[in-house]
Chains A and B, each alone.
Chain A
Amino acid sequence: MRKSLIAIATLALVASGAFASMATVSGADHRDSPLNVANPLADINDVYAFRSAENSSNVVVAISVNPLIAPSDNASRGKFDPAVTYQVHIDRTGDYAGEAMAEFSVNSAADTLIVNGLGQQITAPITPPGASPIVTNVGGIKLFAGLRDDPFFFDLTGFQAFVASPTKLPAQGLRFQGAGTPADTFAGTNVLAIVIEVPITAATGGSSANSGTIRAWASTERNGQRIDRMGIPTLNTVLIPSGQKDAFNQQNPIDDIAASRPTGINTIETLRGAVDALFGSPQTGGPLGDLTSEQVGNALLPDVVTINFANPVQFPNGRRLQDDVIDAALGVVLNRGGANGIADGVNANDRAFLGSFPYLAEPHGGAVTASPAPSTGGSGGTVRPPSTGDAGLFADRESMWALSAGFFFLAVSLGGAGVFAALRARGR
């Protein structure tokens, strides 16, 4: 009886051609909705600021977004998003209000960079993937936008493995025995970069290229809505409790001292305690000398990068491409250097930087040969916070986020301070 009923029903389905029902049944059968594809274009990975090697009266600012582009993806991922704009804010007076702002956007065809805020609007063609770099020179300002080798060098995977098991001492760099040798996670991959060179006096508002101090930070907007802001990438993520992160991104540096500085100092103190317990050796001061947690915390917040042009412009007084910010960050935050230091074992980029604008090395998969990077020595400068990059990765958005989360995890695992259990880093 039942068989015949089903047979009739089946025949009815066949007759009506109702086979589509088959597609609604089971897993792995194209009913499943796809996963989200991360769009990392609104998150700034790294910001660099250094004195121009071609003209020492100029400062070069480079912003990178959209990390871990495989060379085969240069064409598909090497495009800016017209919905996203990037702002660079400059404060000259020390009140963190930000007197000047340059805004970078792209046209709807994503082939032209548009810059507002530097006098008259400037437009510059974006270098297409595979083409030689197109440098636009307008009124003493140089501009480049397009694919480049990712200048960031860091053993991110080694760092992560280290903080995942923070009770083991690493054998090489941050890697445990059997976990391979230190390697630059970003080697062989490309980013999208915007590079601009302007007279230092235009940035400082002063009359000399060897004086004046600016405090700078960047923000991003998508369709006019603030997405992100940063001066010091990554470390804020550690300092700001999860419930306040959106608010933090919406607020401005002028509000940072009251909101976050005490928490930041506590976090640093806890990190130091954790690492001291693990390494069993004393803090002997980092690359900038013996600094208290409070001194470092005071430098971290407000969240801005300070550049004093009377001093050599290098990390943390600005950031050159070749600066090993990870080692410096570890040293400053943990107050460790020399024999008691902690380093990731990756000390240089996989590609030599250029000696001239746009300075960032040619993208992998591109054809042009790089020339060696210039070297400008020097040391000192005011204590500024480490800038470690913030790679919101295409398929791995959490990696740089995890870097900061890793710091945090380290603190919680070893320090165990209850207050930090409330902190949770977020992915940008």
Chain B
Amino acid sequence: MRMAVQGISAKTTKLPPSPIAFGLAAALAAALSLAAALVGLGSRGQDAPPAVTAIEEAAARNQRIAFFEARAEADVIDFVSLNTLAREYLQRARETGDVSDYERAEIAATRSLEILPANNFSGLVSLAAVRFAQHDFAAALTLGQQAVSLKPDDPAGYGVRGDALLGVGRYKEAEGDYQKMVLLEPSLPALSRLAGLAYLTGNEVNTVDFWRQSIAAAEGLPAENLAWAHTQLGGVYFALGETSKAEKEYAAALRVYPGHVPALAGLASVRSAQDRPDEALDLAQRAVARLPRPQNVTLLADLYLRAGRAEDAAAQYALVDAIDALYRDAGINTDLQLALFYADHNRNLERALTIAATAYEAAPGIYSADALAWVLPANTPKPMPGLARRCALGRRTPRCTTTRP
């Protein structure tokens, strides 16, 4: 995995080199042979075509990026290519987990907006998405507002603005944006946002239903998007205790996109719950090998712990801090993840509280409130109004459910 490219600022004109050598296509091809064995489910005869699609898509994406990078290189004001690149980098970041692609997207979108400050919808949407990924919800909101006022009939603007609104705790407005978005284009990007919101409000029926609709409305979108939706639904089922349904969704995700890391991690959790620790460990190891994100490493560590391998677990826990530092270098704000990790594992509890409280103060949204609720000590002197509002959204969020401040 490529980590942050040092010394690149958003003002840099030249794009950092793309990790074509990362060899996603090759990795996918290798994953193909493993997919059926890993999944252990489904009709293998039907597995091959979508898997090949995912491989072709990844290869085509790298070629497309190379094509538009060459154009952007050749023409200093080619905002058209820069906007294409920003979107492609964002999608590739989803697929590879390479956080430096967020940086590339930021550079491309920023440069595009410098060339064309007005009437640059695509640049605004891409930069808003980058800011959201960086947890800079206020900036994402400003950009999202501009996008929506520029093109009030385009669903993409409502998507990024709604995400930012959710991030800053303006839930009703976020819901309004998502509803507007789904009216304009009832496909996965809009439906998945409604599903996420339904989950946060504790509406289990709508959550499952919206995810199902998302899965049914993925035509024309990257295979990763569909795999991601299956994985999200799997996560919902798992949280609801419906392990076998969760297993089916994770398996479906891995059929669509072999080696889809969140699905590997989800399936690892399923196997653990099914008391199949060896398979769980194997899946979690694969997830970490492909994408050493803090949540994957933590999962593996927890599984080691459960298997009685305390030393292996300790090594993984130590890794989390190092990975977090690299994410920070790339401008990805992982404060909340870190706070939760600390709280979950009895490490640096005071710091966890400080981080979560600071994050909540800076952006009192659903995610910061959730984290704060989780790390808040039991002897808090007085209840926090924001917390109450967040819990009023619903009871289903795992941390809210289990926290009793």
Asked if residues A36 and B196 are in contact (CB atoms below 8 Å), the reply is no
**Does A109 make an interface contact (CB < 8 A)?**
no
Which residues of B are found within 8 Å of A19, using beta-carbon distances? Answer: 265, 268-269, 272, 298-299, 302
Q: How far is the CB of B142 from chain A (nearest CB, A)?
A: 17
Size bracket, chain B contacts: 35 or more
**Does A14 make an interface contact (CB < 8 A)?**
yes
Which residues of A are found within 8 Å of B156, using beta-carbon distances? Answer: 35-36, 38
Which residues of A are found within 8 Å of B188, using beta-carbon distances? Answer: 33-34
Asked if residues B87 and A14 are in contact (CB atoms below 8 Å), the reply is no
- Choose from A12, A179, A393 the contact partner of B80 (Cβ within 8 Å): A393
**Does A345 make an interface contact (CB < 8 A)?**
no
When each residue 114-142 of chain B gets 1 if its CB lies under 8 Å from chain A and 0 otherwise, what string results? 01111111100110010011110000000
Asked if residues A70 and B77 are in contact (CB atoms below 8 Å), the reply is no
- Choose from B192, B272, B333, B397 the contact partner of A17 (Cβ within 8 Å): B272
**Does A265 make an interface contact (CB < 8 A)?**
no
* Cα–Cα distance between A20 and B239 once the two chains are bound (Å): 7
Q: Which of B188-217 contact A (CB under 8 A)?
A: 188-190, 192-193, 196, 199
**Does A409 make an interface contact (CB < 8 A)?**
yes
**Does B47 make an interface contact (CB < 8 A)?**
no
Asked if residues A72 and B221 are in contact (CB atoms below 8 Å), the reply is no
Asked if residues A26 and B221 are in contact (CB atoms below 8 Å), the reply is no
Asked if residues B221 and A22 are in contact (CB atoms below 8 Å), the reply is no
Asked if residues A30 and B94 are in contact (CB atoms below 8 Å), the reply is yes
Asked if residues A160 and B115 are in contact (CB atoms below 8 Å), the reply is yes
- Choose from A22, A37, A164, A409 the contact partner of B220 (Cβ within 8 Å): A37
Q: Which of A140-182 contact B (CB under 8 A)?
A: 156-158, 160-161, 164, 175, 178-180
Q: How far is the CB of B25 from chain A (nearest CB, A)?
A: 12
**Does A99 make an interface contact (CB < 8 A)?**
no
**Does B228 make an interface contact (CB < 8 A)?**
yes
Stretch at the interface among A119-127, A199-207, A329-337, A398-406: A398-406
Asked if residues A164 and B117 are in contact (CB atoms below 8 Å), the reply is yes
* Cα–Cα distance between A71 and B273 once the two chains are bound (Å): 47
Q: A33-B163, A164-B116 are in contact. Are A180 and B371 (CB under 8 A)?
A: no
Residue of chain B at shortest CB distance from A186: B80
* Cα–Cα distance between A38 and B91 once the two chains are bound (Å): 14
- Choose from B77, B155, B280, B332 the contact partner of A180 (Cβ within 8 Å): B77
When each residue 44-59 of chain A gets 1 if its CB lies under 8 Å from chain B and 0 otherwise, what string results? 0000000000000000
Stretch at the interface among A3-11, A272-280, A291-299, A414-422: A3-11
Asked if residues B77 and A161 are in contact (CB atoms below 8 Å), the reply is yes
* Cα–Cα distance between A398 and B334 once the two chains are bound (Å): 33
**Does B151 make an interface contact (CB < 8 A)?**
yes
When each residue 127-168 of chain B gets 1 if its CB lies under 8 Å from chain A and 0 otherwise, what string results? 001001111000000000000001111111001100100000
Which residues of A are found within 8 Å of B190, using beta-carbon distances? Answer: 36
**Does B372 make an interface contact (CB < 8 A)?**
no
Which residues of B are found within 8 Å of A393, using beta-carbon distances? Answer: 80, 84
Asked if residues A7 and B346 are in contact (CB atoms below 8 Å), the reply is yes
**Does B349 make an interface contact (CB < 8 A)?**
yes
* Cα–Cα distance between A179 and B13 once the two chains are bound (Å): 13
Stretch at the interface among B1-9, B34-42, B336-344: B336-344
Asked if residues A2 and B262 are in contact (CB atoms below 8 Å), the reply is no
Which residues of B are found within 8 Å of A14, using beta-carbon distances? Answer: 302, 305-306
**Does A87 make an interface contact (CB < 8 A)?**
no
Asked if residues B122 and A398 are in contact (CB atoms below 8 Å), the reply is yes
- Choose from A36, A160, A395 the contact partner of B189 (Cβ within 8 Å): A36
Q: How far is the CB of B19 from chain A (nearest CB, A)?
A: 16
* Cα–Cα distance between A31 and B118 once the two chains are bound (Å): 31
Size bracket, chain A contacts: 35 or more
**Does B399 make an interface contact (CB < 8 A)?**
yes
- Choose from B57, B192, B345, B399 the contact partner of A33 (Cβ within 8 Å): B192
Asked if residues A35 and B125 are in contact (CB atoms below 8 Å), the reply is yes
* Cα–Cα distance between A399 and B295 once the two chains are bound (Å): 39
Query: Considering residues B91, B150, B334, which has the most beta carbons from chain A within 10 angstroms of its beta carbon?
Result: B150
Asked if residues A32 and B265 are in contact (CB atoms below 8 Å), the reply is no
* Cα–Cα distance between A71 and B60 once the two chains are bound (Å): 10
* Cα–Cα distance between A13 and B305 once the two chains are bound (Å): 12
* Cα–Cα distance between A21 and B150 once the two chains are bound (Å): 37
**Does A426 make an interface contact (CB < 8 A)?**
yes
**Does B102 make an interface contact (CB < 8 A)?**
yes
Query: Considering residues B80, B129, B399, which has the most beta carbons from chain A within 10 angstroms of its beta carbon?
Result: B80
Residue of chain B at shortest CB distance from A428: B153
**Does A258 make an interface contact (CB < 8 A)?**
no
Asked if residues B154 and A427 are in contact (CB atoms below 8 Å), the reply is yes
**Does B43 make an interface contact (CB < 8 A)?**
no
Q: Which of B346-405 contact A (CB under 8 A)?
A: 346, 349, 367, 370-371, 377-379, 397-399, 402
* Cα–Cα distance between A362 and B99 once the two chains are bound (Å): 39
Query: Considering residues A28, A183, A409, which has the most beta carbons from chain B within 10 angstroms of its beta carbon?
Result: A28
Q: How far is the CB of B240 from chain A (nearest CB, A)?
A: 10
Q: A20-B269, A23-B295 are in contact. Are A160 and B116 (CB under 8 A)?
A: yes
Which residues of B are found within 8 Å of A394, using beta-carbon distances? Answer: 84
When each residue 191-228 of chain A gets 1 if its CB lies under 8 Å from chain B and 0 otherwise, what string results? 00000000000000000000000000000000000000
Residue of chain A at shortest CB distance from B196: A33
If A10-B344, A22-B299, A405-B119 are given as contacts, then 6 extra A-B residue pairs at C-beta distance below 8 Å, sorted by A number, are A2-B378, A6-B346, A12-B402, A33-B188, A36-B189, A396-B84
Sample (19) of A-B pairs whose CB atoms are under 8 Å apart: A21-B239, A24-B398, A25-B370, A28-B93, A30-B228, A34-B188, A35-B87, A36-B189, A37-B221, A37-B222, A38-B156, A39-B220, A68-B84, A72-B60, A72-B64, A164-B117, A179-B76, A180-B77, A393-B84
Instruction: Report B's interface with A, CB cutoff 8 A.
Output: 56-57, 60, 63-64, 67-68, 71, 74-80, 83-84, 86-88, 90-91, 93-94, 99, 102, 115-122, 125-126, 129, 132-135, 150-156, 159-160, 163, 185, 187-190, 192-193, 196, 199, 220-222, 224-225, 228, 231-232, 234-235, 238-239, 246, 261-262, 265-266, 268-270, 272-273, 280, 293, 295, 298-299, 302, 305-306, 327, 332-334, 336-337, 340, 343-346, 349, 367, 370-371, 377-379, 397-399, 402
Closest CB pairs A-B (n = 3): A17-B273, A72-B63, A395-B84
Instruction: Report A's interface with B, CB cutoff 8 A.
Output: 1-3, 5-7, 9-10, 12-39, 68, 70-73, 75-76, 156-158, 160-161, 164, 175, 178-180, 183, 185, 188, 242, 245-246, 393-399, 401-402, 405-406, 409, 424-427
